[in-house]
Amino acid sequence: MHDAAIVIARPPGATQLVLLFHGVGASAADLAPVGEAIALARTDAVVVSVDAPHPSTLGSGREWFPVVGITEQNRPQRIEQALPLFLDTVAHWQRAAGIGPAATTLVGFSQGAILSLEATQAQAPGALAGSVVALAGRFASPVRRAPAGLRFHLVHGEADGVVPARYSVEAAQALQALGGDVTLDLLPGLGHGIDARALGLVTAHVGGRS
């Protein structure tokens, strides 16, 4: 799985690590343009687009957990089964880059965002990252914790018909109630995707301009 990842940038003396996680039925290549924009905004960062470990049950692309037959009731269990490998993947790239969790940013879209968010809720993940940027994502279960030192940036299209924007609104409210560091941007007219506005918000956040 690590061999299929795309290392977009690896500058000498890098001090930051940015890991991108794609949506179900996609691949590391789909988020490469986002990674390239991040690399321009954050020239001190190792930037890697990660390929999910399993062939997608949708018939093309990759996935962390299957979505065929998924329900609100079985989603948490599927994510729980996927989390150990997800956490191992984050740790692998931190070791490979020689960069610790505090200087790591996870950028996820859709299923990649769900895994990135749920990883922050794991019982004993250790220090996962310093920042999570979730595009069109959601928590699978109610928010349980807002780890100290971890920034959450949620970006969601108001016209998203796959993962409704209310999930990001509810997540932001829950994280704030727990004392978390969270920002939320809702984009009018955007469906389940990443447009120029969303990309600008991501690069501003990762580049330290938000």
Task: State residue 125's pLDDT score.
Answer: 53
Task: State residue 126's pLDDT score.
Answer: 61
Q: Report the percent of the chain where pLDDT is more than 70.
A: 96
**What residue has token string 């979505």?**
67
- What is the rounded average pLDDT of the residues 123-148? 88
- What is the rounded average pLDDT of the residues 20-44? 96
Catalytic residue check, 3: no
Catalytic residue among 153, 160, 168, 205: 160
Catalytic residue check, 205: no
Q: What is the pLDDT of residues 60-72, one digit of tens each?
A: 899 999 988 888 8
| Cβ proximity of 42 and 207 under 8 Å | yes
Task: State residue 57's pLDDT score.
Answer: 87
| Cβ proximity of 109 and 23 under 8 Å | yes
* pLDDT: which is higher, 59 or 137: 137
Catalytic residue among 54, 92, 181, 192: 192
| Cβ proximity of 168 and 199 under 8 Å | no
Residue length of the chain: 210
Is residue 116 over pLDDT 60? yes
Catalytic residue among 110, 116, 131, 168: 110
- What is the rounded average pLDDT of the residues 128-139? 96
Q: List strands edge to edge, sheet with 45-50.
A: 6-9, 45-50, 16-21, 104-109, 131-135, 151-157, 181-187
Task: State residue 207's pLDDT score.
Answer: 83
Question: Cα(first)–Cα(last) distance of the chain, in Å?
Answer: 33
CATH superfamily of this structure's domain 2-206: Alpha/Beta hydrolase fold, catalytic domain (3.40.50.1820)
Distance CA 113, CA 116 (A): 5
Concatenating the DSSP letter of every residue in the chain gives: -GGGSEEEE--TT--EEEEEE--TTB-GGGGHHHHHHHHHH-TTEEEEEEPPSEE-TTSSSEESS--TT--TTTHHHHHHHHHHHHHHHHHHHHHHHT--GGGEEEEEETHHHHHHHHHTT-SS--S--SEEEEES---SS------TT-EEEEEEETT-SSS-THHHHHHHHHHHHTT-EEEEEEETT--SS--HHHHHHHHHHHTT--
Task: State residue 208's pLDDT score.
Answer: 74
Q: What is the pLDDT of residues 5-29, one digit of tens each?
A: 999 999 999 999 999 999 999 999 9
Task: State residue 60's pLDDT score.
Answer: 87
User: pTM for the whole thing?
Assistant: 0.95
Task: State residue 58's pLDDT score.
Answer: 84
Task: State residue 122's pLDDT score.
Answer: 84
pLDDT band for position 2 (50/70/90)? Answer: low
Is residue 86 over pLDDT 70? yes
Q: Which residues contact 124 (CB under 8 A, 6 or more apart)?
A: none
Q: What is the pLDDT of residues 74-85, one digit of tens each?
A: 999 999 999 999
Q: What is the pLDDT of residues 158-206, one digit of tens each?
A: 999 999 999 999 999 999 999 999 999 999 999 999 999 999 999 999 9
Domain boundaries, the chain: 2-206
Catalytic residue check, 153: no
